[in-house]
Every structure is written in C-alpha cells, then in structure tokens.
A and B are shown apart, each in its own frame.
Chain A
C-alpha cells in the first residue's frame, strides 16, 4: 500500500526562525494538501497543490509539489508563537476516496 513519510516528527525553534518540513510518498500523488491542527481543534487547510512543480504561498507559508510527484515541502518564514501546532501533509489522489495523512510534524516555538 501507499506509504507517506513526514519529517521531522517534531521541531523546537526560536521565534523568528524559518521552518522547513517535508513529506515523501512511495507512490505518485495527484495532490498535496498541507493542514495545521491546533490543540483540541480539527485540522485546517493551509495550502493545496495540484500540479507537479507548483509553488504556492499563503502569507508566511510556502509549499511546493515536487517534480517527481512523490514529495512536497512546507516552509514557514519568521515563525511566531501562534505557529505552534501539528502540521499534516496528505493526498486525496486519483482512485482513492479518502485522504491519506502523514503522521504529522509537531512544531514548538520558543518565544
């Protein structure tokens, strides 16, 4: 079956630093979705990518759909305390009806 690896598992960074996290898949993806989950809440969509090579920004967030269609990264610039949470990558690709999630990257920001 399809395997989705997300790294790092957790990160501790200083406020103001840039952050990078990534996801890799054992199979080709048709979409990459990045979500953020605050404690006790549901995941909220940050960025959706639908084309290989696509680079999309949302404020301080930037994500790219890898050329091989098997990977994606999410960058956060100039981190702030409210960036704390768990970031999930996922795919809802052709032939499947449900979203496949990575295990998440837990981000902690030290003021």
Chain B
C-alpha cells in the first residue's frame, strides 16, 4: 500500500501548456524530492525540500519549479511545457533521524509526454 501518491500517472499535453504534477505523502516525512528519469536510465535529482517553505535545486538543471507549503504536499510545476520535458517524474520522501535518512520511499511516478 503506497504512502506516497503521485497524480496523474500519465499525462499527454501540448507544447506551451502549464502543468502541475502532484505529490503527497502521509508518512509525516520532512524531506521530499523530485527525480527525472528517462526510460531505463538513471535517476536525476531536480528538486528537494528539507521541510515547509524550503526548496532547493538538485543536480540536474530543470525548468520546473516546486513549492512546499504543507509538509505532506510537494507539487512540481512547468510553466510552459516543451517536448524536451517528456520524461518520467518520480517523487520521494524521507525522514532524518540523527545522521541518517530513513524510509526513503518513492511514488509510482508521472509519465509526461509533451507533443
């Protein structure tokens, strides 16, 4: 049973449209993350958050933006979608206890296709 939810699972959208990918977790995790992954390829961190009102850019440059107004919610927005944004977007969360991160859990992903 998933404790981290992503919607939609699949999205096909036209170039220039604004889209928001939703991610919510019910585990009370303080840290949340967005990864971008092309099929069969490695995961690239594009955004992360330490907690409410905290957002940071990841290792891979992305034209998307994120917000963290509530602990459980970490949406990702693309203001103007382009075909180069076609990819799978994975949300994850974790909780830090002492020096370690625990419970690093992924959602099922949103498969985005921009036509």
Contacts and interface: CB of A to CB of B under 8 A. Distances in A.
B interface SS class: strand
State the majority secondary structure of interface residues on A: loop
B106 A44 contact: yes
Interface stretch (A60-68, A71-79, A90-98): A90-98
Interface residues of A, number: 27
Contacts of B41: 103-104
Nearest to B4: A42
Most chain B CB atoms below 10 A, which of A40, A45, A106: A40
Contacts of B43: 43, 88, 101
Interface of B: 6, 31, 33, 39-43, 45, 48, 50, 58, 88, 90, 92, 94, 96, 99-101, 104-109, 111
Interface of A: 30-31, 33, 35, 39-45, 50, 86, 88, 90, 92-95, 97-99, 101-104, 106
